[in-house]
Amino acid sequence: MDPKGPVGQGNRQIIVDATLIMLFIVVPTILLALWMGWRYRASNTKAEYLPYWSFSGRIEAVVWAIPILVIMFLSGEIWIGSHKLDPFRPLESDQKPVEVQVVSLDWRWLFIYPEEGVASVNELVIPAGRPVHFSITSSSVMNTFFVPQLGSMIYAMNGMVSQLHLQADQPGEFRGISGQFSGDGFSDMTFKVRSLPADQYAGWVSATRGAGPVLDQTAYAGLTHQSRDTRPFTFGAVQPDLFNAIATRQAPPGPGPVAQYGRETTPASGEN
Amino acid sequence: MSDIVPASAEAVQRVREDPHRLGHRAHGEGAPVMGAGHGETGPANSRIIVGYGFWIFLLSDIVMFSAFFAAYAVLMNATAGGPTGRELFELPRVAIETGCLLLSSFVCGLSFAASVAKNRMWTQIFLLITGLLGAAFLYLEIDEFIGFAAQGATPQRSAFLSAFFSLVGLHGAHVFVGLLWLGTMMAQVQAKGFSRMVQHRLLCFNLFWHALDIIWVALFTVVYLMGAAT
Amino acid sequence: MFGKLSWAAVPLHEPIPMITSVVVILILLGVIGWVVAKGHWRYIWDEWITSVDHKRIGIMYILLGAVMLVRGFADAIMMRTQQAAAIGESAGYLPPEHYNQIFSAHGTIMIFFAAMPLVIGMMNYVMPLQLGVRDVAFPTLNSVGFWLTAAGALLVNISLFVGEFARTGWLPYPPLSETTYTPGVGVDYYLWAVQISGIGTLMTGVNLVTTVLKMRAPGMSYLRMPMFCWTTLASNLLIIAVFPILTATLAMLTLDRYFGFHFFTNEAGGNQMMFVNLIWAWGHPEVYILVLPAFGIFSEIFSTFSGKPLFGYRSMVAATLFIVVVSCMVWLHHFFTMGAGPAVNTFFGIASSVIAVGTGVKIYNWIFTMYGGRVRFEVPMLWSMGFLVTFVIGGMTGVLLAIPPADFVTHNSMFLVAHFHNVILGGVVFALFAAIEYWFPKAFGFRLHPGWGKAAFWFAFIGFWVTFTPLYILGLQGMTRRLQHINYPEWAPMLYLSVFGVAILVVGAACQVIQLVVSIRDRDKLRDVTGDPWDGRSMEWATPSPPPMFNFAVIPNVEGEEAYWGIKTRAIETQRLGPEPVYKPIHMPLNSPVGVITAFFASVTGFALIWHIWWLVILGLVCAFAGFVWFAWRDIHEFEIPAEEVARIDRARRAARRAILERLAREQGKPA
């Protein structure tokens, strides 16, 4: 709840607004319930006793009207908020967004920068103050790509590409996580987000380019194996269209567990 | 429990204060309201209860089918490079299957009429014909599946074929269960005649068999006719 | 011969499941040994296991639910302590492959095997009594339904010491739950356990809907039914409408896993989002299947303990049916973050919030039921007041989650976890505890000890808020659910506080157990001789406590709403009971072992399917079919209770009622 970007601020604003609207009605309701019970407790013989009273058109009208009005009010909020904060909608900015392609692996994150021709694992570096356009898919199971301080999350699913637009206003370091349980290595499926000033970002790109291995189909196949190694590293070059191959299922999906953990025996028997 | 006596005048007064009776206070209505066409005459007889309950079960069965229909609709084009419905389906065969099933349903209705008349011989004959037609349907369907598999169109080939085999196979499984039931019913009619329980079961069996027809009509249209057309 | 099953499946080297298994097996053997040694076996078999009496089946459902509630609670304690223990460098005491089974089992057990049996048990016990009839529409089917649910629960518990349970959450999202990513038997245990119990639930749904629609006492028109019967009808209509979807969805996943079909796989065109859509098309209405009967329970309690009719009965009925319809149109709110687009999200967001209109109306109607009443704060009423406070806040966070942009940052977070515990614990479980206090004297003839009951309530209420408020806060700080260990030490204080809350809940649970023990010990002091301990208003209180097997000696003629209240006030005004009816012999269905036999074969077949023991699968199915044919062959399915016996039992009831009238007359006479 300490947002560092416009999307996160929008999310928070909506939560705060909606909570206030509802508290306005919820708090009196709770107080009314408690007061009613107290006032008409059996030992209070001073209170009137209406053993047959069970209908009042006016009260009925009010009790239907109150929730309907609140919900109408909130519906407006839902309508506007859903459109304004739609993850697929580009952010308003005079700068061209950075393209980042995200692939969730078992249990790591791969970030491909198609325009810069570099890629990194478990570390997302973005320029501060410039929108970022994420295209997100999964190598195997479902995950959600989520940087709490920047705002909205969205699912990563095999064979599909989801879009997300985020922006960090200031330089800083944030946590990135998966918001959807994805197997035994899920708890450590985190990544670091570094938001850098524009010049440092450019420096990072040029330092990364050319250094380290090349990300091609083979290297990618290696990444799809299950791993709980969370150390970040980078690729100095990326095979063009690799992301497309992953998203259209031309690159094989993650193979899943090679050996079983725990007590379950390998499903070796011929009947399987 | 017949210790009930009409309630007080005071309560009747209260009903008047609430002309549309939106509240819950109506102790005063007493007998007049009861006679005012509510038609609430206590528990229904067992034939109605059995039929009604079974009908509700059939509705839930149709909901289950509709989930498989939905899956088929979603996966219809997910052929993953494998054979499509248009390449596979042979409408003449399916037409014969449909004929078998519809005819069996008609004969099943005749058997019910015979059972109401408590005519054991004709009940048994019509049930037998129903069963034979059902078995013929099932034979044709299995033969069709085997033929598909021989062309490499197994349910493992593509999501479309998975959905196709499950939907059609689910109906086939129902027909198979229906045949088991039918055999049991014939044995019961032979051994027990037309006792109340046997008649209830025959009623349920009829409902079941007709419901399978209804589902088949939908299936024939959505899967075969539309599949062969596109 | 034994498929995938081998000695390696038994976790001999793991202490936690091993010790638990040994303890469970010892307790089971002890109970069975005690039953056999004391010669109770015959009684238990005749009067309970093969019983088709809706009251007996209801009690067995509640017993099953209570036992599984304890199991699920044990899982919850492990989850909360693991998260508090595994912060930063520490790994805690549960490795992921074990922890993941625990949270999956916790969710599965709590929904399918604790909440569902408890709710269905309540409906089973109370609804026919309230409708003034002798049993449900299909008594034997009722027994089959119960035993199938028990068979599912058995399979879940077997997974503790033979093999493993699912590690995929309570709803096994593919592709994670496909064989590629989860090859073990865990998901298969889940599939077959839920499938078998789901069939049982569907049977109950058909049964109870038919009962309400076709089997009411004469004069019991729809708008004279007690609110609980309305919510029972609503809940069971939802069961019929959505449980088949669950059956179909799980069947598709089963075909994927067993035969390599491609419904939800990553290969050959499978569509994983279809699973998510289908499962929530069942899953969201499921919430209302649980909570609507809870609303009915509270309606009965608020009205009884305020000494007044329910306020706005008809708008309550309208609100209930409104919720039934709308609950089937909101499933997408469980995955706003799958990128469905703003128009779709808006529709489902508004539809989800609209449900709050129905519940909001109910809340106000309960509040105004107290207006002008004489509110007695007995234990059921305390739970109901606690519910009002808790549920209103749970509803508020629910509406918050229904706002798509708010859900974008709270989806799958601890905020969500806190929310649904807020409504399920604060709504359903509070209702069930209230209902157990309320109808216990009806079922067993004595009240539960009020002192311990009050203690249990306060510990549960405070414990609930101490446990879940920190989770709300953590959710807003970005903590996601299902974490086996926590990488961020600053969350530690909240997690510790939450464990402290769990400790308070444990004390509350202990109070419940003590309450039961103390009440059984002091049962003579707490005896209810009147059959009407709470000054009730609906027909179940017209019977003695506990009711005879046939419920009503003569089917009552209902002449108004709150049928029993009418009878009672009339009797008090006139100072006498109505004339003694003419007693006739009563025909009741014979007990039948078909339920337990079916469940036995279902368990065997399910176990064989899980372990791929194909010959046993075929054997189980053939035996089940043979069992049905054998059952269908019997000629006598009813027995007769002679008129004299009926008269003897009912005269005892009338004598007790007369004694109350005399006592009231004396009490009223004194001051005059």
User: Do B50 and B23 reside in the same domain of the chain?
Assistant: no
With b for 16 or more beta-carbon neighbours within 10 A and e for fewer, the A226-250 pattern comes to: beeebebebbbbbbeebbeebbebe
What would the pLDDT profile of A151-185 be if each residue is shown by its tens digit? 888 898 888 888 888 888 888 888 888 888 888 88
3-class DSSP assignment, residue C233: helix
Contact A78 C403 (CB under 8 A): yes
Q: What is the mean pLDDT of residues A45-55?
A: 83
* B200 and B126 within one domain: yes
Could you read off the pLDDT of C456-491 as tens digits, one per residue? Answer: 999 999 999 999 999 998 888 888 888 888 888 888
Are B24 and B109 part of one and the same domain? no
C516 is written with which tokens? 């039961």
- What CA–CA distance (Å, rounded) separates A210 from C322? 63
For strands A98-104 and A109-113, give the pairing: antiparallel
CB C386 within 8 Å of CB A9: no
CATH number at residue B202: 1.20.120.80
C-alpha angle C43-C49-C51 in degrees, rounded to nearest 5? 90
The 3-state secondary structure of C290-353 reads HHHHHHHHHHHHHHHHHCCCCCCHHHHHHHHHHHHHHHCCCHHHHHHHHCCCHHHHHHHHHHHH
Q: Is the pLDDT of residue C230 over 90?
A: yes
* Alpha-carbon span C276 to C400, nearest angstrom: 22
Residue B30 has pLDDT above 60, yes or no: no
Do B168 and B184 lie in one domain? The reply is: yes
Give yes or no for a contact between C432 and A43, defined as CB atoms under 8 angstroms apart.
no
d(CA A40, CA A35): 8
Shortest Cα–Cα distance, C261 to chain B (Å): 5
- Residues B77, B179: one domain? yes
Identify any residues that bridge with A177 across adjacent strands, giving them in sequence order.
Answer: A146
* Sign of the torsion formed by the C-alpha atoms of C287, C289, C295 and C297: negative
Write out the two tokens for C302. 């608020």
Contacts of C291 (CB under 8 A, 6+ apart): C423, C424, C427, C428
Residues of B (17-46) whose Cβ lies below 8 Å from A: 18, 22-25
Cα–Cα distance for residue pair C427/C421, rounded to 1 Å: 9
ipTM, 2 decimals?
0.88
B191 and B138 in a single domain? The answer is: yes
Q: Which residues pair with A120 in a beta bridge?
A: A111, A234
For residue C405, which residues of chain A lie inside 8 Å, CB to CB? 10-11, 14, 81-82, 84-85, 152
Both structure tokens of B13: 């007064």
Is the distance from CB of A71 to CB of C325 less than 8 angstroms?
Answer: no
Residue range of the domain that includes B2: 1-43
CA dist., res. B124 & res. B114, Å (int): 9
pTM across the whole model: 0.89
The encoded tokens of residue B75 equal 């996966």
- Domain final residue, candidates B43, B58, B75: B43
Alpha-carbon distance of C188 to C617, in angstroms, equals 14
Determine which of C87-101, C108-122, C183-197 has the lowest per-residue pLDDT on average.
C87-101
Closest CA to C363 of A33, A39, A23, A72: A33
**DSSP designation for A225:** S
CA atoms within 13 A on the CB side of C644: 0
CA distance B23 to chain A (A): 4
Query: Do A270 and C9 contact (CB within 8 A), yes or no?
Result: no
Q: How far apart are CA A114 and CA C81, in angstroms?
A: 44
Q: Shortest CA distance to C338 belongs to which of A136, B93, A117?
A: A136
CB contact (8 A) between residue B22 and residue A57: yes
Instruction: Determine whether the interchain pair A57/B11 forms a contact, defined as Cβ–Cβ distance below 8 Å.
Output: no
Whether chain B has a CB inside 8 Å of the CB on C668: the answer is no
Residue in chain B lying closest to C582 (CA): B2
What is the predicted pLDDT for the residue at B8? 44
Q: Do B2 and C310 touch (CB under 8 A)?
A: no
Going by pLDDT thresholds of 50, 70 and 90, the confidence category of residue C635 is confident
CB atoms within 10 A of CB A38: 14
CB atoms C181 and A183 under 8 Å: yes
Using the beta-carbon criterion (under 8 Å), do C183 and A60 form an inter-chain contact? Answer: no
**Alpha-carbon span C562 to C219, nearest angstrom:** 12
pLDDT at B61 over 90: yes
The shortest C-alpha distance from C556 to chain B (Å) reads 5
- A38 is written with which tokens? 């107290």
Confidence category of residue A72, pLDDT binned at 50, 70, 90 = confident
Q: Please answer whether residues C309 and B24 qualify as being in contact, where contact means their C-beta atoms are separated by less than 8 angstroms.
A: yes
- The set of residues, in sequence order, having a beta carbon less than 8 Å from that of C503 and lying 6+ positions away, is C463
The answer on B117 and B27 residing in a single domain is no
Residues in chain C with CB shorter than 8 Å from the CB of A255 are: 180
Report the relative pairing of strands A237-238 and A118-121 from DSSP bridges.
Answer: unpaired
Q: Is B61 left (phi over 0), alpha (psi -120 to 50) or beta?
A: alpha
Distance from CA of A2 to the nearest CA of C (A): 8
Region B185-198: mean pLDDT is 87
Q: With CA atoms as reference, report the closest residue to C211 among C318, C136, C120.
A: C136
Residues of C in contact with B23 (CB under 8 A): 309, 311-314
Nearest Cα neighbor of B94 from B190, B207, B226, B230 is B226
Whether B111 and B194 share a structural domain:
yes
- Residue ending a domain, among B43, B58, B73, is B43
Q: Which residues contact A203 (CB under 8 A, 6 or more apart)?
A: none
Query: What is the model's pLDDT at position A87?
Result: 81
Q: Which of B71, B165, B168 is nearest to C274 (CA)?
A: B71
Which sign does the torsion angle of CA C643, C645, C651, C656 carry? negative
Nearest-CA residue of chain A relative to B28? A52
CB-nearest partner of A55 from B10, B11, B18 = B18
Q: How confident is the model at residue B21 (pLDDT cuts 50, 70, 90)?
A: low
C-alpha span between C172 and A228 (Å, rounded): 22
Tokens 């065969």 belong to which residue? Answer: B93
Residues C119 and C294: their CA atoms lie apart, in Å, by 8
Report pLDDT for C125: 94
Q: Of the candidates C326, C57, C305, which has an alpha carbon nearest to the alpha carbon of residue A71?
A: C326
A189, amino acid identity: M
- Does C450 score more than 70 pLDDT? yes
* Total domains in the fold of chain B: 2
- Say which residues have a Cβ less than 8 Å from residue C85's Cβ, sequence separation at least 6: C92, C93
Strands A98-104 and A132-138 come out as: parallel
Same domain assignment for residues B26 and B114 = no
CB contact under 8 A, C633 and B78: no
Mean pLDDT of A52-78: 86
- Residue C234 half-sphere exposure toward CB, CA atoms < 13 A: 32
Q: What is the pLDDT of residue A259?
A: 52
Is the predicted pLDDT of residue A260 greater than 80, yes or no? no
B187 and B201, same domain (yes or no): yes
Average pLDDT over residues C63-69: 93
Helices of type H across A40-162? 57-84
Q: Residue C121: which pLDDT band, with cuts at 50, 70 and 90?
A: very high
Residues in CB range of C610: below 8 A, 6 or more apart = C155, C163, C185, C188, C189, C192
pLDDT value of residue C279: 92
CA distance A36 to chain C (A): 6
Pair B53, C210: CB distance under 8 Å: yes
Query: Which chain A residues are Cβ-neighbours of C409 within 8 angstroms?
Result: 8, 11-12, 15, 148, 151-153
Rounded to whole angstroms, how far apart are CA atoms C13 and C652? 60
What is the rounded CA–CA span in Å between residue C327 and residue C325?
6
Pick among C310, C559, C635 to test the B interface (most B CBs inside 10 A): C559
Subunits with 3+ C-beta pairs closer than 8 A to B: A, C
Q: Are B21 and B132 within one domain?
A: no
Q: Say if the Cβ atoms of A55 and B11 lie within 8 Å.
A: no
Do B8 and B94 fall into the same domain?
A: no
- Taking a C-beta distance cutoff of 8 angstroms, is the pair A177, A189 a contact? yes
> What is the per-residue pLDDT across C380-435, written as a single tens digit (0 to 9) for each?
999 999 999 999 999 889 888 888 888 888 888 889 999 999 999 988 999 999 99
Beta-carbon pairs below 8 A across chains A and B:
14
